[in-house]
Amino acid sequence: MKLVTYNIHYGFGRDGINDLDRIAAAVDDADVIALQEIERFYPRSHMVDQVAALAKRLPNHWVAYGPNIDVYSPAGFPGEVETARRQFGNAIFSRRPILSQANHSLPRATGSDQTMRRGALEIVIDSEAGPVRIYCTHLDYLSPTTRTAQLQALAARHEDMAAGGGAWEGTNAVAHEWLVGDEPAPTPHAILLGDMNI
C-alpha cells in the first residue's frame, strides 16, 4: 500500500501558482493520500471547492474531509443562497472503501494571537489485510508544547480506540433505528499521516 502525505497550502506551489491539476498528478498513484490545508470557498483560492475539485481529478479514490475551520461565507456565490460555508482542514483520499470517518479536535494554545484550530481526520478503510484506521493531521507550528499535547491526544485516541470507537456505543447500538449499514469493528491497526511541523 502506497501512502502519501502532502500539505497542499490551499493549492499553491512554491512558484506561487494555484494548480490542483499538478497536485492531483503528483499523488494519483498512491493508495492513500492525506492532504493538509485543503479548503472550500476561500477568495484566495478562487472560491473553489477544492475537495470536490480534487475528487474529480482522483476518480479512483473515495474521499473524506474534516474541516477544522468552518464559518459562514457571506456573498461571493452568484446565483446561490448565501448559506455556503468556508472550510479549511484535512482530507484523505483512498483507493479502498472508506468504512467510516470522524474528525477530532486537538488541543491548542491559549493566549496566542496566531492560534488556529487543529484536528485529526480519522477514517477506517477496508484494506486487503483487513480494517485499518488512517489519521490525517496538521500539528501546530508555533509551540513545541502545543505539538506535544496534540500528539498526546492522538496517542490517547489510539489507545482508547475500542472504548471510544465508532458512531454508536453501548449494548443497544446495533438495534438503534438511526444506525444504517454495518459499522466497522474497532481495529487496533492505525497509521498516522500529516504535517507534523517538527
Q: Beta-strand (E) ranges in the chain?
A: 3-7, 32-40, 62-72, 85-94, 98-105, 119-127, 130-138, 190-195
Per-residue pLDDT band at 184 (split at 50, 70, 90): low
Indicate whether 106 pLDDT > 80. Answer: yes
- The answer to whether residue 81 scores a pLDDT higher than 60 is no
How large is the average pLDDT for residues 84-101? 93
Cα–Cα distance for residue pair 10/44, rounded to 1 Å = 8
Residue environment code for 152-180, b if the CB has 16+ CB neighbours within 10 A, otherwise e:
ebbeebeeebeeebbeeeeeeeeeeeeee
Q: Which residues contact 32 (CB under 8 A, 6 or more apart)?
A: 1, 2, 3, 4, 92, 93, 94, 95, 96, 125, 134, 191, 193
pTM attached to this predicted model: 0.89
**Residue 138 pLDDT > 60, yes or no?**
yes
Say how many C-beta atoms besides its own lie within 10 A of residue 74's C-beta: 10
What pLDDT is attached to residue 14? 95
pLDDT at 160: 83
Q: What residue has cell string 472550510?
A: 87
Of 91, 82, 80, nearest to 39 by C-alpha is: 91
- Percent of residues in the chain assigned helix, strand, coil, to nearest 5: 20, 35, 45
Are the C-beta atoms of residues 125 and 96 closer than 8 Å to each other? yes
Cell of 20: 490542483
Per-residue pLDDT reduced to its tens digit, 140-177: 998 899 999 999 999 999 888 766 656 555 555 555 55
Phi, psi of 157, deg, nearest 5: -60, -45
State the helix-helix crossing angle for 20-27 and 50-57, rounded to 10 degrees. Answer: 50
Q: Is 141 helix (H, G, I), strand (E, B) or coil?
A: coil
